[in-house]
Structure 1
Amino acid sequence: MNTQEWPRCIKSARQKRRLVKTDRDKQLIQLYKRRWALWLQRAQLPPVALAEPYQSGWMRFFVLRDDIKRGPKAEFYETLLAKINTVECHHDKSFKRKKRRKGRYIYKAKEQKLRELDLYDWYHSKPILTERERVCFIRVESYNVKARSLQVRYVFTEPWRYVLKIAPYIITHKKALDVDIEAELAYIADRIDSNYLEPRLNRLTRGRCFRCRDDFKEPAKYINKFKNIPKYAHKEAYLELET
């Protein structure tokens, strides 16, 4: 049978299967876009102030030394600190981390440094630092063993002008919760997980992207329990799987 002689309104079986698959992929792409839009809406919700703020651990950051504050360049170093300051949080005020050494655990103080700029930040079209602030940095080159490449950093040459300060980490706001957004996200997540659609979504939206090792495992409902049982096995072997 020559399908070329058919009228245009009549489609072959292969074309029908292709249209069904294309329509399904379009629906998955729309589902992906809707999920992404809901994530953005949830992220843009304004925070809600707490009636009773509470402390959740400690925070550590750099401040200008007292003698530098009284100097003529106090304003310059305060402006620079706002660009290279780092903040770390910890549940303990001592900021010590557990480390294994010679078969036993010890607690070692956690080191904290000022921000180091990479080549992207240094040569950006909208630079972070001014020409006067760039003079305070030095170029440091080191070899990255994992990446097997030369790593370039710009480090502040006068870190002694700043000291670490520890203060309580107070929680004053919480994330807002929208019931409608959460309900729709839960519906989309349930549909994707129950129908095992995440690998196909990744293929349609991001191509052959990297997936975690657990993503390659089949869901339990698709696993054939009788696959690895030989045909000559006893009846009890099949009955044990059903229970």
Structure 2
Amino acid sequence: MENYTAEEYALCSRFKNKRTKKRLVKEDFEKQLIQLRKLEVELWKKRQNLPLVPLAMPYQKGWERSFVLREDIVRSNDASFYSTLLEKINTWQHSSEKSFKKKKKRKRKHVYVEKLQTVKEFSESEWRSPKLALTEKEKKHFYKRERWCPNCKRYKIHYVFNEPWRYVFRIKPYLITHTKMVDEDLESEIQVLDNYITNLNLRYKINKLVDGFSYRWSYYQKENPREISPIKNKSLHVLYQQYIDEMI
């Protein structure tokens, strides 16, 4: 010991030096953050898997639009074929208005136009997939069409049904008959964990550690409760009045 310094002795022995201790503390903290994410995901899955509970009084929430067979097609010999095909390509839309119109700006004016709705179209990858539920006879009623994709900046191939006139719209009230079960204990655990992560400002660190990046979503851009100023967005008159009230 007389011929060695303290740092040299620490390197030769099993004692941990200052740098190693600091690294171990950081690794332990990161492991705790990973466990927090796992616990959070587990609680979310439990809430997602809660069963539906029937409502005592169902209520209407807008309107639902879908396709049905035309009356003359129902009476034809091919009714069963087109009915089976409709189950595979039917689409549904919901709207608060029975007219199913949306506001659109044209020539500096807002006008209402009807929402576009068609039967399901298949992309090229879906068409070649072995999971496609269409039979060979049903595939003969589709044709290949190229359409410009503004997101991909190129033409993409779609397979479109060539006899859409066989189906017509059916509009009916959209009724809410069930609701998600609420577990108060589970919601309390989720809220406690979320408060802990938010108050200590750990959301960015957890996302960076687990996912490798952290998006600046609006959900995560909430101010830290510990950093919110009590005089934010208050005029001088209001602050002065509060000061007078406290002095009295």
Equivalents in 2 of 1:177, 1:5: separation in Å?
A: 57
Q: Does the alignment pair 1:144 with 2:149?
A: yes
- Is the partner of 2:122 in helix, strand or coil? coil
Counterpart residue identity of residue 161, structure 1: R
Matched residue, 1:59: 64
**Contact 1:3 1:12 survives alignment (8 Å):** no
Please report how far the alpha carbon of residue 101 of structure 1 lies from its aligned counterpart in structure 2 after TM superposition: 2.1
Kindly tell me: are residues 223 and 20 of structure 1, through their superposed partners in 2, closer, same or farther at Cα, counting changes over 3 Å?
farther
Please report how far the alpha carbon of residue 194 of structure 1 lies from its aligned counterpart in structure 2 after TM superposition: 1.1
Please report how far the alpha carbon of residue 26 of structure 1 lies from its aligned counterpart in structure 2 after TM superposition: 0.9
Equivalents in 2 of 1:3, 1:137: separation in Å?
A: 80
Identical aligned residues as a percent: 43
Counterpart residue identity of residue 173, structure 2: P
Q: Give the count of matched residue pairs.
A: 225
**Contact 2:89 2:119 survives alignment (8 Å):** yes
Counterpart residue identity of residue 44, structure 2: W
Equivalents in 2 of 1:187, 1:32: separation in Å?
A: 14
Kindly tell me: are residues 16 and 218 of structure 1, through their superposed partners in 2, closer, same or farther at Cα, counting changes over 3 Å?
farther
**Contact 1:68 1:161 survives alignment (8 Å):** yes
Kindly tell me: are residues 214 and 70 of structure 1, through their superposed partners in 2, closer, same or farther at Cα, counting changes over 3 Å?
closer
- CA-atom RMSD, angstroms? 2.3
Kindly tell me: are residues 143 and 100 of structure 1, through their superposed partners in 2, closer, same or farther at Cα, counting changes over 3 Å?
closer
Matched residue, 1:34: 39
Equivalents in 1 of 2:86, 2:10: separation in Å?
A: 74
Counterpart residue identity of residue 123, structure 1: R
Q: Does the alignment pair 1:2 with 2:18?
A: no
**Contact 1:121 1:128 survives alignment (8 Å):** no
Equivalent of 1:44, from 49, 52, 58?
49
Equivalents in 2 of 1:194, 1:158: separation in Å?
A: 58
Provide structure 1 residue ranges, at least 5 long, that are not aligned to the other structure: 225-239
Please report how far the alpha carbon of residue 3 of structure 1 lies from its aligned counterpart in structure 2 after TM superposition: 5.4
Please report how far the alpha carbon of residue 210 of structure 1 lies from its aligned counterpart in structure 2 after TM superposition: 4.1
Please report how far the alpha carbon of residue 6 of structure 1 lies from its aligned counterpart in structure 2 after TM superposition: 3.8
Equivalent of 2:82, from 77, 80, 84?
77
- Is the partner of 1:61 in helix, strand or coil? strand
Equivalent of 1:187, from 189, 192, 198?
192
Matched residue, 1:227: none
Kindly tell me: are residues 161 and 103 of structure 1, through their superposed partners in 2, closer, same or farther at Cα, counting changes over 3 Å?
same
- Is the partner of 2:213 in helix, strand or coil? coil
Q: Does the alignment pair 1:200 with 2:205?
A: yes
Equivalents in 2 of 1:80, 1:27: separation in Å?
A: 52
Residue deviations 1:71-125, cap 9 Å, x none?
Answer: 1211111111111111111111111111222222221111211111112321223
Equivalents in 1 of 2:219, 2:176: separation in Å?
A: 35
Equivalent of 1:107, from 109, 112, 135?
112
Equivalents in 2 of 1:205, 1:124: separation in Å?
A: 33
Kindly tell me: are residues 218 and 21 of structure 1, through their superposed partners in 2, closer, same or farther at Cα, counting changes over 3 Å?
farther
Q: Normalization by structure 1: what TM-score?
A: 0.84
Counterpart residue identity of residue 138, structure 1: Y
Provide structure 2 residue ranges, at least 5 long, that are not aligned to the other structure: 1-6, 230-239, 244-248
Counterpart residue identity of residue 179, structure 2: K
- Is the partner of 1:183 in helix, strand or coil? helix
- Is the partner of 1:120 in helix, strand or coil? helix
Kindly tell me: are residues 151 and 60 of structure 1, through their superposed partners in 2, closer, same or farther at Cα, counting changes over 3 Å?
same
- Is the partner of 2:182 in helix, strand or coil? coil
